[in-house]
Structure 1
Amino acid sequence: MKRAFAVDAVIDRPARDVWRVLTDWERAPRWMNGVESMRAESGTRIGSTITFHARGKTRTSEIADLDEGRSITLVTVQGGVTARYVYRLEPLDGDARTRAHLTADLATTGFPWVLFAPLIRLAVRRTDAGQISALRAATEGAPA
């Protein structure tokens, strides 16, 4: 997999509050650019399917890894493109604030996906690199 982007931001809320917003799938469109709706098929656990509607299409992600309250990995496969998004939360200042990290990695296989890999990574970066800033705004604006 090749890195599409890595971003982080400090959120002025405890990690438990950030985690609650991060994994509130039905409200994720507040901070996920281009996502119109989202829902978890069977909760937030490894192997669960997250179904979302984005840019006119229904897509799915699987929760591939989970450290409750600290990190979650979502993997989406579409055609010859596999995207892995890793969200990590790091408590700061005795958990008064949280550093939120997001990395997005992509792998492409087959024709024409391999040819378009650099453009796909660029599109993912343009679309999704603002997620952590938007998560910060959604969390800091959320009631305690």
Structure 2
Amino acid sequence: MTTAFILSATIDRPAAEVWARLTDWPAATAWMPGVRSIRVNDDELIFHTRGRDRTGRVETVEPGRTVVVHSAQGGVSAAYTYTCVPDGGRTTVTLTADCRVEGVWRPFAGLLRTAIRRTDGGQVAALKRVIEAVSPDGRSSAGSSG
């Protein structure tokens, strides 16, 4: 596979909380741009995006640390590896998006990786915003005054 991007963000929350939010797939629409809904069927994720359903498969899980979601359509396959690394009371989340292109899609490999970067490159920053918008006691910190 060829890497489309690698992005990281440090989230001001403990790793267990970040992991729980990261792997709450139905709620991931809050930080996955363009995804309207996600249904879970065992290790399969059905994403509703751009007016159609797309399927991904949870292929690797190291609980609390790493999850890999893989999808394939035609000659294009993508693997999204999310890694959580505790750092005191904070957590560094890294997303590595790899894309392999075969067959008739091969001449478009660069364009497809660029499209993946544009579409999904904001996921980690959005995850950080969503998680940090809720205070550690579970209340929304949006609009709060101190």
The two structures have a TM-score, normalised by structure 1, of: 0.92
Residue in structure 2 matching 1:124, options 116, 131, 139: 116
**Counterpart amino acid of 1:15?**
A
- Name the larger-Rg structure: 2
Identity value in percent: 44
The CA deviation string for residues 13-57 of structure 1, in whole angstroms up to 9 with x for no partner, is 001111111111111110001101002112xxxxx1011101111
Measure, in 1, the Cα distance between the counterparts of 2:69 and 2:90: 24
Give the match for residue 54 of structure 2.
59
Measure, in 2, the Cα distance between the counterparts of 1:77 and 1:15: 30
> Which consecutive residues of structure 2, in runs of 5 or more, have no partner in the other structure?
137-146
Q: Tell me the secondary structure at the aligned position of residue 134 of structure 1.
A: helix
Measure, in 1, the Cα distance between the counterparts of 2:55 and 2:67: 15
The yes-or-no answer on 1:72 pairing with 2:64 is no
The two structures have a TM-score, normalised by structure 2, of: 0.90
Give the match for residue 90 of structure 2.
97
The CA deviation string for residues 45-99 of structure 1, in whole angstroms up to 9 with x for no partner, is xxx1011101111001101110011110000001110000000000002xx0000
Q: Trace 1:123-142 onto structure 2 (pairs within 5 A).
A: 123-142=115-134
Give the match for residue 2 of structure 1.
2
Give the match for residue 78 of structure 2.
83
Measure, in 1, the Cα distance between the counterparts of 2:24 and 2:135: 14
Measure, in 2, the Cα distance between the counterparts of 1:129 and 1:141: 20
Moved over 2 A (4+): none
- The 8 Å contact of residues 21 and 138 in structure 1, kept in 2 or not, is answered as no
Matched positions, count: 136
**Counterpart amino acid of 1:107?**
R
The CA deviation string for residues 102-133 of structure 1, in whole angstroms up to 9 with x for no partner, is 0000001111x101110000000011111000
